[in-house]
Amino acid sequence: MFEANMGIYDDGGDEEMTIAESLQFNFDIIKVATSDFSHSNKLGQGGFGIVYRGKLPNGQMIAVKRLSTNSDQGKERLLVYEFVPNKSLDYFIFDPIRKTQLNWETRYTIIKGIARGILYLHEDSRLRIIHRDLKASNILLDDEMNPKISDFGLARLFVIGQTEGSTNRIVGTYGYMAPEYAMHGEFSVKSDVFSFGVLVLEIITGHKNSANICHGEDVEYLLTY
């Protein structure tokens, strides 16, 4: 499954914003839920803002991204997400102790869940979405170890009928990039499928595919094992 934003708060700027199938929350509710964006509730920080843990009046835990005013996103806006407590996939599969918690049934469930999420993005969403940065650290795990695809900061939307795109600015994570994207900037659903294949190998083997693991003059890749 993919991690969709549950809701959004807009401070009432002039720009009209339409979010499909999303809920809207009153700002005061979010402020109370996060204890006025308390530092103790801070989960992390990225290029677009700070993420806080929160608790809604009905007891549901949420994660709130407060977009930075210098993130080129306009006036202050808050994105509200489902809170997933088990961190990301890389926290487990690349740790010699924690990866023992992932039996084969759990690993299969994670792989199947990621595949279903990608299928939704590529085929079932109203607009086709190419993630462009699928990797273990962008797969979050809920309390039942179900996967959630996260971090759509590099995602591209395709218009109806569009099957591929290109860019002169290569962004993403080497080791997960499809060759045609890494070398020529060409991307499509196949780019995400390539990244998914790398993820499957990492989940099965517990080894990270990296272009930075060197042994003498040789560079070791998981894909060449």
Residues that are catalytic: 133
38 pLDDT tier (thresholds 50, 70, 90): very high
Mean pLDDT of 140-150: 93
For residue 148 the two structure tokens come to 């959630």
Quick check: 6 pLDDT over 60?
A: no
**Is residue 74 pLDDT above 80, yes or no?**
no
* Cα distance between residue 189 and residue 185, in whole Å: 13
The last residue of one of the domains, among 82, 102, 137, is 82
65 is in an annotated binding site: yes
Q: In this structure, are 102 and 181 located in the same domain? A: yes
Q: 75 with 24, same domain?
A: yes
Domain span at 71: 5-82
The yes-or-no verdict on residue 83 having pLDDT over 70 is yes
* CATH number, domain containing residue 58: 3.30.200.20
Q: Which pLDDT score, from 0 to 100, does residue 225 have?
A: 55
Q: Say whether both 56 and 101 belong to one domain.
A: no
Residues 65, 40, single domain; the answer is: yes
Gyration radius from the chain CA atoms: 19
Give the separation between CA 48 and CA 67, rounded to whole angstroms.
Answer: 5
- What pLDDT shows up at residue 69? 63
pLDDT at residue 14 greater than cutoff 90: no
Domain shared by 105 and 67, yes or no: no
Whether 59 shows a pLDDT value over 90: the answer reads yes
Q: What is the mean pLDDT of residues 156-163?
A: 91
Per-residue pLDDT band at 97 (split at 50, 70, 90): very high
Q: How many domains does the chain have?
A: 2
Whether 115 and 19 map to the same domain: the answer is no
In angstroms, the CA 31 to CA 66 distance is: 11
Per-residue confidence band for 43, with pLDDT thresholds at 50, 70 and 90: confident
Higher pLDDT, 24 or 155: 155
Q: Are residues 212 and 143 in the same domain?
A: yes
Nearest to 132 by CA among 169, 77, 160: 169
Averaged pLDDT of the chain: 83
102 has a pLDDT exceeding 90: yes
Clarify whether residues 25 and 111 are in a common domain: no
Same domain, 97 and 164: yes
Instruction: Specify the CATH number for the domain of residue 202.
Output: 1.10.510.10
Shared-domain flag, residues 76 and 93: no
Q: Looking at the predicted structure, is the pLDDT value of residue 18 above 50? A: no
Domain boundary among 34, 56, 82: 82
User: Given a cut of 70, is residue 31 above it in pLDDT?
Assistant: yes
Residue 218 is predicted with a pLDDT of 52
Q: Are residues 109 and 50 in the same domain?
A: no
| End residue of a domain, out of 19, 52, 82 | 82
Q: Is the per-residue pLDDT at 151 higher than 70? A: yes
pLDDT at residue 206 greater than cutoff 50: yes
- Please name the residue ranges forming H helices in 120-206: 179-184, 189-205
Give the model's pLDDT for residue 72.
54
Residue 107 shares a structural domain with residue 213: yes
